[in-house]
Structure 1
Amino acid sequence: MALVRIRVGETIMKTQTQDTPIKLQETLKRQRDILAFRMKKLSSKQSDFNSKTAKLKEKIMKKYDDMKRVLDEDLRITLCQLDTEAEAMERAVEDNIEKSYHLTQEIDQQLAELSAKLEKDKQQSQEKMSEMKVRIMETLKKTDPELLQMDEFKNKQLLSLTINLLLFIRSQVPVTKKLFQSYAQEVVLDPDSAHPKLIISPAGDSVTYTNTWQEVPENPSRFDTTLNVISRTFFQNVRNYWEVQVTGKTYWELGLTYPNIPRKGREDNCWLGRCPTSWCIEYFNGDYTAWHNGVPHELTHVSGRTFERIGIFSSSEGGFVCFLGADTMIPLYSFYAGTFTDSLYQAVCPGHDNQGTNDKPLLICDASKSTPIL
């Protein structure tokens, strides 16, 4: 089977002086047929992706429906148990009230009889009075409200179990958190690439902006205008995930870049996401923007919202880059590069001081550990 290679944007063939217009026409027709077949295959691939995604969504939705049914049944049983106990308590109270009522009726009757016979038989009356006092004391003792106590220990245990169930569910939701944690990648920032106004921690796990120009050696890899720093090493795995803590900051940029991102001068290409070799998400005074190849995408669905951590997931299969609010794993924006043509490095920009509101550092987190789901 012949292997035909197409290079988009390059010369399809080299013409020779002896080629006739008819041969050229036939060659172009064959190339056109090949491209038409390629477009058909791509369309089929897209349909296959859509079909697989739809089936996966259907299976996941069914599982969530099953979880909802289980939780609804557990709730029904719990509430039923509480209702049963409440009904038993109510019956016990009503029974004691009834006993007390009947006894008061007897007391009234005895009082009437005693009034009539008091003068006739004082001794007999005293005996009956003594007997009545005993019965009264016994009844008061048996009907003491303090004897009717709810099982507070059981109730606390029931509430504790319910809380534990909630915590367990929260630890599993969203399931993407567990999935991305399995792709967690260690990130160590490279001080040799950092702009001179950036301070990199000794461990390479944080970067802080300072208004003072640092005494650092000049080298070709150092950014000299943009406030960027990239990682020491590139991704080794097909799928990778990392997180950055952005708490308390009003300006930052996070993303991925090829090693050949421009690093010198004031060209826009030196900024993350402003060239075809990098992808980033930018946060500035409450607004989020995703950038690639100089094209901005405003993220209005999270405007004004703050996150403690931002997660970045990438997969070389399909050239996928996804930014997430790692607190709740809410997707912020995704890019599809088709394929990555070079190694990927992590890149961060802590931003300038923003009128004194942006002095906090960017902290590289251990993405393999869970963060609270709010």
Structure 2
Amino acid sequence: MCFGSLAQCRHISIEQGYLEQEISELMKRSSEVEQLSHAKDHLHLLQKVSIHPLSYELFEAELKRVQQYAVDMTLDPDTAHPKLILSDDGKQVHCGDRRKQHPDNPQRFSKGVCVLAKQSLSSGRFYFEIQVKEKTKWFLGVVRESVNRKEDPNPSPANGYWTVILGQNNFIALDNPPVCLLLQSDPEKVGVFVDYEEGLVSFYDIDHAALIYSFTGCSFTEKLYPFFCPGNNDDGKNFAPLIICPQ
């Protein structure tokens, strides 16, 4: 995966129209919060409410709701790129400096330093959390079973990737088109929630109980697998592992 190629993504200006947007959002805020108490689809409404102190409790409640769908998962060594090093318990992964000699089976990623979980989803909901603390690059989300594992990843929903990435100090949702995200702080733990029938994939900053991004209106027709890319070692700067958090 070439993190540098993401420079072409659409940037969101924090200056242009900022004041007008804030005024507009403040005017709509009270009615939106009122809707939350009546709406069935809380998540979509929550995305429309700015992340201010008043809304923290609302996001925290939504986060607790999706956490009830948490599943225990382990990494699948048969899918791991040869440079990846997995812990014995299958809960951690980081990138080494050399390729290991592994059978080049159809399930294994040969180009991108990626690995999938053993567990999959073809209906219902699931949720998992990943520690990304002290990493300078990472690439997380879910992918459909049929993604091409023998070429460099070309991540987008059209290609079966619903993912968020950190690279070169940029947080990017790899939607179509990609969206650069302005986060208040670097997440140390990321939660991923999937509702298969709803066509929803959401990413959360756990420590701040904030929604990072949601892919909505997705059409899932295959099994979905949790997807992890710790990024290259980068001369030790990105040596910290991705860690699947216990549930």
Counterpart of 2:126, as a letter, is N
C-alpha distance in structure 2 between counterparts of 1:337 and 1:214, whole Å: 40
Matched, 1:291 2:174: yes
Post-superposition CA distance 1:143-177 (Å, at most 9, x none): xxxxxxxxxxxxxxxxxxxxxxxxxxx99972123
User: Would the aligned equivalents of 2:59 and 2:209 in 1 still touch at CA under 8 Å?
Assistant: no
Distance 2:190 2:218 in 1: 24
**In the alignment, which of 185, 190, 205 is matched to residue 71 of structure 2?**
185
Cα distance change, pair 173–55 in 1 and its aligned pair in 2 (3 A): closer
Q: Equivalent residue for 2:9?
A: none
What residue number does 2:128 align with? Answer: 242
TM (norm. structure 2) is: 0.74
Corresponding position: 1:273 with 2:156 = yes
**Against the structure 1 CA distance between its residues 350 and 275, is the aligned structure 2 distance closer, same or farther, given a 3 Å change threshold?**
farther
Match 2:36 to one of 34, 57, 75? 57
Distance across 1 between alignment mates of 2:75 and 2:65 = 25
Per-residue CA deviations over 1:221-271 (Å, capped at 9, x if unaligned) read 1111111101112026511110000010000000100110001134xxx24
Partners of 2:122 and 2:223 in 1: how far apart? Answer: 8
- 1:281–1:289: 8 Å Cα contact kept in structure 2? yes
How many residues of Structure 1 are paired with residues of Structure 2 in the alignment? 200
Q: Report the 3-state secondary structure (helix = DSSP H, G, I; strand = E; otherwise coil) of the residue aligned with 2:204.
A: strand
Q: Kindly indicate whether residue 104 of structure 2 is the aligned counterpart of residue 224 of structure 1.
A: no
- What is the letter of the counterpart of residue 340 of structure 1? F
1:1-374 matches, cutoff 5 A = 56-58=35-37, 174-235=60-121, 238-266=124-152, 270-273=153-156, 275-292=158-175, 295-300=177-182, 302=183, 305-366=185-246, 368=247
**What's the RMSD between the two structures over aligned residues?**
2.5
Highest relative contact order (Cα 8 Å, sep 6+), 1 or 2? 2
The structure 1 segments of at least 4 consecutive aligned residues displaced by more than 3 Å after TM superposition are 53-56, 170-173, 271-275
Residue 337 of structure 1: how far off its partner (Å): 3.3
Check conservation: 2:84, 2:113, Cα contact below 8 A: yes
Report the counterpart of residue 122 of structure 1 in structure 2. none
Q: Aligned pair in 2 of structure 1 residues 297, 308: CA closer, same or farther (>3 Å)? A: same
Q: Secondary structure at the match of 1:292?
A: coil
The share of aligned pairs that are identical, in percent, is 32
- Higher strand share goes to which structure? 2
Q: Is the contact between residue 172 and residue 178 of structure 1 (CA under 8 Å) also seen in structure 2?
A: no
Q: Give the AA of the match of 2:178.
A: P
* 1:284 CA displacement: 1.6
Q: 1:339 to 1:212 in 2, by over 3 A?
A: same
For normalisation by structure 1, the TM-score amounts to 0.50
Rounded to whole Å, the distance in 2 between the matches of 1:259 and 1:344 is: 6
User: Could you tell me how far apart the structure 2 residues matched to 1:353 and 1:221 are?
Assistant: 23
Q: Report if aligned partners of 2:142, 2:224 keep a CA contact under 8 Å in 1.
A: yes
Are residues 250 and 225 of structure 1, via their aligned partners in 2, closer, same or farther at CA, if it must alter by over 3 Å? same
Q: Which amino acid aligns with 2:163?
A: C
SS of equivalent to 2:89: coil
More helix by share: 1
